[in-house]
Amino acid sequence: MANELIIETTASSQKRHRASPIPESVTYISGYPEKLFIYQLEASKYWWARYYISGKIVRRSTKTDNKKLALEAAKAFYNELNHRVHS
């Protein structure tokens, strides 16, 4: 069987799902908990904010492709979630 194709799969050769964060894009926000960060996806042109609160991961699109505006949106997202929890 000289014409057989051998496919080798390793952890590094497996393709990441398009809805998974791009590791190089993960940005933590200084002055805020590390549970809050922004990141990009292959499936979206926008930055996304993610925060772990009350045992759950909450995600929201920042609706901007500008990193500076995404950081501000993530801070507002953080304040909104904490306001909901403490009210």
In tens, the pLDDT along 50-79 reads 999 989 999 999 999 999 999 999 999 999
C-alpha to C-alpha distance for 74 and 71, rounded to whole angstroms = 5
Q: Which of 32-36, 66-70, 82-86 has the lowest mean pLDDT?
A: 82-86
Average pLDDT of the chain to the nearest whole number: 90
Q: Rounded to two decimals, what is the model's pTM?
A: 0.79
C-alpha to C-alpha distance for 75 and 87, rounded to whole angstroms = 18
Q: Extract the tokens encoding 78.
A: 């953080």
